[in-house]
Structure 1
């Protein structure tokens, strides 16, 4: 009876501890702040979901190359989750009319960067899957059957095509756009932090990056840890997308 009571108390405490979940996610970028992000997450005991593409980095390679493989493997060991951001950071630019789904796509990473192509659904799915497969190879952990389109740009046809090949799309909450890709001249770190702490709601998916080339005053380290600490102080807790109610069933069925 004592053990049962302790288990019940423990379960209640866990439920209370995560009554206000938020879901912090990171897309790749130049990876310049990746070590810092890892330090903060470990120090704060926070698990997140990383969406990865093979983007150009400050180390003269890409974010999924062998240089960064140990970093990703360490994050897997810490219990973080992974998902695809398309391998070539491939932007959807429009649907092509026709019976079969085809899309105008512009990669911004890799050998095809900066050129526009017409891809079939199968070609788009292959690019989504390639990132997931690379993540699994270097981490030994199977990524979630989720993806995030670069820029969040999609169409109903694109989403249906991706879902048909096993990938559900993940966007972010309006308040969860943390603003790290906005110009620091007009959106200061202090302003972005105050806005996030004021507007984020339970259940929100939050978006940041592992390095933005264009922002002169980086969002991290200035805002990352203060944001986590501030949200915790307001009773929020952090979960990965594996626990998100909108994706739990999908993940269970496709893992």
Structure 2
């Protein structure tokens, strides 16, 4: 009888493995999102339909003239995003998003001549090039051109989730569009997973994604795999070619993009 039960147990396990070939197993949870860890490689995976686009790091992300405009209903915006979305000009505005003016830290710094974006605020990212001055927009990770992911504040502080500069790979389940990315920004403490740069939103199928209104974002669930502690040295700056090369090496450690596709059915 015991032998029969053992054979039956093995058969059940085998059937489950065939039905769910995903190598990642349940690890922990952030809000309502399950996180799955790879049994061998340093990698974890999650999926979410939530998408929010972050303009931070772009030299034309925010403009003082937009302060008076309604974020979603206003017209004639100069910046990619609304200053109110960075808490500005309230006293509690996010100094991590808008660079404080070195001469008057109570206000945000405005780019002077000869900047290509004279009059715009300097928008910061958590990942940056430490060799450049804080007032230099080239110090930060440009949302328009670099595919990056944002870690919510509480998620960033969780053990094992990784650090700024870590690499990852995302696949839109509905369209199959995929992109490597770098983790470049820390968002509000209780934010949802799924916030990304303009460049990553476009790579995953978005059309003219709008950080102010949320229009044009990629639709459907996206699966993300993050490789914690994979950051390069130095972590920034990196070219897109370097990001791709690093991610390709890391993908091979988990069996390539197919291994991520196998986990699409995970809740």
TM over 0.5: no
Highest relative contact order (Cα 8 Å, sep 6+), 1 or 2?
Answer: 1
Greater percentage in helix: 1
Normalising by the residue count of structure 2, what TM-score does the alignment of the two structures yield? Answer: 0.26
* Larger Rg, first or second structure (1 or 2): 2
Normalising by the residue count of structure 1, what TM-score does the alignment of the two structures yield? Answer: 0.26
